[in-house]
Structure 1
Amino acid sequence: MKTYCRNAVLAIALAAASTSAHAVQADIKIWADVDPTVALMRADGSALPDAVKLAYQPGNGLTPWSEQVRIFSNDASKDISVRLANAAELRPVVAATGATPIPMTVNLNGRALQLSNLDFAASDLFDGALPGASIAMPLEIAQTTRAPITAAGLYEGLVSVVLLQKTGSP
């Protein structure tokens, strides 16, 4: 009887295990934005972050954000033009009455990026230390005039840096 009960319990346990066993599928969407000529990446070759939270210091404004970056190119002999796709600013999304856009400045290697092309000479960028990679440079995003922001709220913006490998060097 003891063996019969033990076998019955084991059979029930196996049946329960088999009915609860099932496959689980994990889906991960992957994507890539590919330009085989040029890319702006972190100095270590990894992708730049998709989002950055700027810290606000009451009475002092937004703390600048900076990251060491490199320009990666398939031809280190060609100059690179860099510009902004649109004016950099933080716009109030959910904010107190009177909130206005906050102008931002974007600098690459200490040079202010604008809506017009800013040329970087290949000879200044590519020193040959890392094949196809420029020197490491700071990319900085900062409040144009660091000052207190008087309207509380959530502000958002998009900084789009456009790189163009020139067809030849001057």
Structure 2
Amino acid sequence: MVYLYAKAVHIIFVVCWMAGLFYIVRLFIYHTEAKSKSAEEYGVLHKQFILMESKLWWIITTPAMYLTIVAALVMLYINPGLLTMGWMHVKLTFVLGLILYHFACQHIMFQLKGESSTWSSTKLRLWNELATVLLFAIVFTVVLKSALNWIFGVLGLLILSISLMMAVKLYKKFRNKSNSNKTLNS
């Protein structure tokens, strides 16, 4: 019964962690785009984004990551046989990637706070998709488990990655065209 409670907690905090990771990068994008405003506007927005990013990061995202990991460790302690399964090794590799992504986001947050970030909003949009790819990889690995299905899952991930990158580039082109039209109409 403890295993099922740990599993439920694990799933709940994975959702919270992923929501935080998705939203923090959106905040980074808006924070970066605020640099194009006047100095006065940017000053106000910069302070607000620092506050929002900090609260999201330290109250929701980071605690959710640690609670996800603790619940996972409880499940592995109760059922150590999971560590002998190949799919679990693959999943844990993707999870390690997600943890590294988490701390890379933290680094970006500190750079934005210190006004030393060199990330463009387009680059951040692409960065945001990496979390999506990792989430898909983890979920498909856990659900499919078998090697053959995992190969199809990887191919699907590649197609998803390419599709997401194309969507970001199309959005940038659309946004640039829309901004050009606004400038012409002014």
Highest CA radius of gyration, 1 or 2?
1
| Higher helix proportion (structure 1 or 2) | 2
TM-score where L is the length of structure 1:
0.28
Compute the TM-score of the two structures, normalised by the length of structure 2: 0.26
Greater strand content? 1
